[in-house]
Structure 1
Amino acid sequence: MYSFLSNILQRATSQNISGLLIAAPLLHLCYKIIYAFLFSPVRHVPGPWLSRVTRLPLLYATLKLQRTAYADDLIQKYGPLVVLAPDQVHTNDQEAMKIIYDRTSSKSHFYEGMGSWKGVTVTLGFKTYHEAAPSRNYLIQCFQNRNLAILLENLETHCQRFVDVLEKKSKLGECTDGVYWFRLLALDIVTDVLWGEEKSLLLNTGNSGTAFLRRFHAFSKWNALKSFIPGADFYVRNFGSFEWKTLRNDCSDMDVSARDALGRWKNRGEQSHDRDVLSMLLGMGGKDKSWTVPIDDMPAYMVEMMAAGSSTSSHTAAFICWALMRHPEAQKILRKELFEASPDINALDLKNTQTLPYLEAVIKETMRLWPMIPGPLERHLGKSITVNGMIVPPGVIASTSAYTQGRLESVYPNAEEFCPERWLNESEDMNINWIPFGTGSRACPGSNLVLTELRYIVHMTFRNFKAVPPPPDQDSDLELKDVFAAVTTAGHCWVKFVSQPDAIW
């Protein structure tokens, strides 16, 4: 077919250069339309006709930070299997999901950009399971419970600093931006856990802290955008506005923060290096030569681990506060459980957080409704999938999303409602479709660390305070937008904390 169209193009333009300029794009469009409707391996799958021909609708939604909403809307309109872009499908079928994310599938081109940092490919960026397995296995070992007991020794100190900040705000009657302050806390925790960083952002919110947060935000947003949208880096570098160029430069400067941290880590002298993930990783790599990373390449891994270990915990903690201040009965139940687990505010035993069922239910319900990585996670199929009798062959890009799976009415009755109680008697299907950390062979290796952080943070926060809605001028619905990681539409999540360590309500 392509040869046939080429002959037409040659005859149509042999005497006329201007004809070439007109005919070439038209014939290319004709080729794409004919391919999409007659030859594409997903031509039998429902979906918008334009999405069959071009990726532009998906790229536009990505640029508008509406990637998740775009995919979910198509599922609601067309059914459990839909064309998302040329030779790309999206589904909410849980049996297909198991195949999409098994070891035979490989990641799409997006991850090559998102998972590399200045020439260094990190765990996220390896396209196949076997390429990623060595570094993944080491990270999983680091975050096993026996190692977390060592890594999280200082967690209570960081949480107490956070409680002190909230106490001051409570006395002044001020509201707290949960997105901002929980991020500071999470970054303090994760940099301590990952490379033993002693500097506290909670205690230092001046210029250096602000610059670090700005770079961190830019990394999360810009790195994903340039990976999804071809040519974005070239266009912004040469023609972008001041705002976009600043975003790009701040992302690039995240390397400065990571290298500075690595320098401080190297210069700790006689101080012990056995209580941070970086030391563990280098120690494991030294024993097993199947995975070794030059020390100068470590900043790339540090940036990846810092993003993975802080964004989910900080945003989820803020979302938990938002949900509980609007569901006071759920907040009362949680605080009652925390008071029973830690009756003496001056002698908290945070080890109890690991076995509190309602605390666990609140965390899982929040992550079901507002997952930090909400949108389609793309894979090139290694095996075919079948949904509603429609077969999609290997090689096609397929995805599911945590946002859509978490709102399946057949799995979670009254799925739009915040109801932690549903997790007190959870079903197998509920667990299968709860995928805020991804699922299958490439699920997040740091999920155990994040969940442990959340248990500690929520325990100390709600053992000391109750959360109430802020004034109307600071109140807003919790709406998310995303490229890859989610952010709040308003950019904030305002909460008013009332100090109440001696009474449940």
Structure 2
Amino acid sequence: MLQLAVNQNLWSLLAVAPLLHIVYKIIYAFAFSPVRHVPGPWLSRVTRFPLLYATLKLQRTAYADNLLKRYGPLVVIAPDQVHTCDQKAMKIIYDRTSIKTHFYEGMGSWKGVTVTLGFKTYSEAAPSRNYLIQCFQNRNLSILVQNLQMHCQRFVDMLKKKSKSGESTDGVYWFRLLALDIVSDVLWGEEKSLLLNTGDHGSAFLRRFHAFSKWNALKSFIPGADFYVRNFGSLEWKTLRTDCSEMDVSARDALDRWKNRGEQSHDRDVLSMLLGMGQKDKTWAVPIDDMPAYMVEMMAAGSSTSSHTAAFICWALMRHPEAQKTLRQELFEASPDINALNMENTAPLPFLEAVIKETMRLWPMIPGPLERHLGKSITVNGMEVPPGVIASTSAYTQGRLESVYPAAEKFRPERWFNETEDMKTNWIPFGTGSRACPGSNLVLTELRYIVHMIFRSFKVLPPPSDQDIDLELKDVFAAVTTTGHCWVKFVSETDVVW
């Protein structure tokens, strides 16, 4: 009888425990939470479910942005987590005292190797960050981009064939191939061309690459995602997980090819530079067998932003013919003879720079909240948030602040001719502060080359009506278009401006 009573009490306690836990979370959220005074939805104070659900639906950026519009410049988006669009707070959120959240440990670790993105503190990340920044300085880029023009010319030749046949081009797909060709050449001297040899969407390499950022981010944001998909997921989700996991197969194959080429061919690529720096500085010496993890990170970071931004530039100029005309006039004046084009000697072109900046303002590749555990308190609208709380801003929201960018929803490259300090501060497509992307200089260099060569050779026109849709983004961490495509029609015109 005693045992029966004990069992009954145990089952009663187990039945009540979830309810007690919910009650505790509600009491904590509204009475004890360090952000209980900050406005926000009541459910988001109690559970992370709304934020995780938005993440799973690829609407993380929209979720946070809509809450700011509804509640003001500081809002609770999850328990003990706030989001803001205040630029003074932004500088504190991303200074050296703040610590990255658990998400980055998952996103920035690969098969047991932690790479630059995955280090949570500034001091841990500093060595690899500093070496990458050195690799991508202008004096090194002049060496690294010697073959960039060759890849761009291959791309132009491919577009000429499509132009003659009247085909539309999926910018998301083809610019990705171009960017991967460029990045793999710059990073480890890979001359194999995806543009020339890959026209199949089902290729193993591209499948793995497309899976990498989506699955890696989802499993890092959503607790238990890896366990659930591995044991109960659909074939589609299991395939996504497997393809992501096998991304290092491509990286290790590339590393083997790099080793087999011999030392004489390793005088220009980033991989050689990093290994050389590690030999000089024993405090940061990465074993060569760990390099595939860094290769995967650099390949993803170095290609996604440039490829998608190039596609978005084409889409925006297709919709704004006057801006396209202005850009092409500038390019024709800078490069009168397309056959004698020398990008290394081309001075910075104001309207080209403005087009790139305006596109990245409106459609940043990392659009959503970049989370940090605060190292110092922030104050927004008189509301103080103490250290330890998770806080974030987002490139999407900062780039569309009406107070900083009048008519913020409009594509107006000319606004950058009168760039203010506030415009500079809130333009954060590469992040901001102490952990901003170390490869931003490489990406911007790629974009200048790509856009220059394309619009010196082509006009872009709207594709057929069934392909001509608005450019809307979804995201987990990196952005994707809602359809997975960005259709543009290129028309070859090498002899006239318009």
Give TM-score, length-normalised by structure 2: 0.98
SS at match of 1:162: helix
Q: Could you give the per-residue CA deviations for residues 208-267 of structure 1, whole angstroms, max 9, x where no partner exists?
A: 982111100100100000000000000000110000000000001101000000000000
8 A contact 2:142–2:344 mirrored in 1:
no
Aligned to 1:480: 473
Quick check: 1:346 aligned with 2:336? no
Quick check: 1:89 aligned with 2:89? no
Aligned to 1:67: 60
Quick check: 1:232 aligned with 2:203? no
Aligned to 1:141: 134
Aligned to 1:452: 445
CA–CA distance in structure 2, aligned partners of residues 365 and 210 of structure 1: 33
SS at match of 2:388: coil
Counterpart AA for 2:66:
D
SS at match of 2:197: coil
Out of 136, 150, 155, the residue aligned to residue 157 of structure 1 is 150
Out of 139, 146, 159, the residue aligned to residue 166 of structure 1 is 159
Quick check: 1:312 aligned with 2:284? no
CA–CA distance in structure 1, aligned partners of residues 52 and 346 of structure 2: 42
CA–CA distance in structure 2, aligned partners of residues 328 and 290 of structure 1: 53
CA–CA distance in structure 2, aligned partners of residues 250 and 22 of structure 1: 41
Gaps of 5+ in 2: none
Aligned to 1:222: 215
8 A contact 2:354–2:413 mirrored in 1:
yes
User: By how many angstroms is 1:270 displaced?
Assistant: 4.9
CA–CA distance in structure 1, aligned partners of residues 175 and 212 of structure 2: 18
User: By how many angstroms is 1:351 displaced?
Assistant: 2.5
Out of 86, 93, 97, the residue aligned to residue 100 of structure 1 is 93
Counterpart AA for 1:359:
L
Change (3 A) 1:147 1:314: same
After superposition, the CA RMSD in angstroms is 1.2
Q: Could you give the per-residue CA deviations for residues 35-73 of structure 1, whole angstroms, max 9, x where no partner exists?
A: 000000000000000000000000000000000000000
User: By how many angstroms is 1:345 displaced?
Assistant: 1.1
CA–CA distance in structure 2, aligned partners of residues 471 and 352 of structure 1: 38
CA–CA distance in structure 2, aligned partners of residues 477 and 303 of structure 1: 31
Give TM-score, length-normalised by structure 1: 0.96
CA–CA distance in structure 2, aligned partners of residues 285 and 340 of structure 1: 44
Aligned to 1:262: 255
8 A contact 1:354–1:455 mirrored in 2:
no
Out of 2, 7, 16, the residue aligned to residue 9 of structure 2 is 16
Counterpart AA for 2:331:
L
Counterpart AA for 1:284:
M
Matches within 5 A, 1:227-376: 227-376=220-369
CA–CA distance in structure 1, aligned partners of residues 201 and 217 of structure 2: 25
8 A contact 1:13–1:23 mirrored in 2:
no
SS at match of 1:179: helix
Matches within 5 A, 1:398-437: 398-437=391-430
Counterpart AA for 1:280:
M
Gaps of 5+ in 1: 1-11
8 A contact 1:108–1:127 mirrored in 2:
yes
Aligned to 1:205: 198
Aligned to 2:28: 35
Aligned to 2:110: 117
Aligned to 1:442: 435
Change (3 A) 1:382 1:13: farther
Change (3 A) 1:208 1:173: closer
Change (3 A) 1:288 1:447: same
CA–CA distance in structure 1, aligned partners of residues 409 and 371 of structure 2: 25
Aligned to 2:495: 502
8 A contact 1:13–1:19 mirrored in 2:
no
Quick check: 1:175 aligned with 2:168? yes
Quick check: 1:186 aligned with 2:179? yes
Change (3 A) 1:36 1:166: same
Number of equivalent positions? 494
CA–CA distance in structure 2, aligned partners of residues 211 and 326 of structure 1: 34
User: By how many angstroms is 1:22 displaced?
Assistant: 2.1
8 A contact 1:353–1:459 mirrored in 2:
no
CA–CA distance in structure 1, aligned partners of residues 25 and 76 of structure 2: 15
User: By how many angstroms is 1:289 displaced?
Assistant: 1.2
CA–CA distance in structure 1, aligned partners of residues 59 and 167 of structure 2: 32
SS at match of 1:236: helix
User: By how many angstroms is 1:18 displaced?
Assistant: 3.3
8 A contact 2:45–2:79 mirrored in 1:
yes
SS at match of 1:202: helix
CA–CA distance in structure 1, aligned partners of residues 338 and 267 of structure 2: 31
SS at match of 2:497: coil
Counterpart AA for 2:474:
K
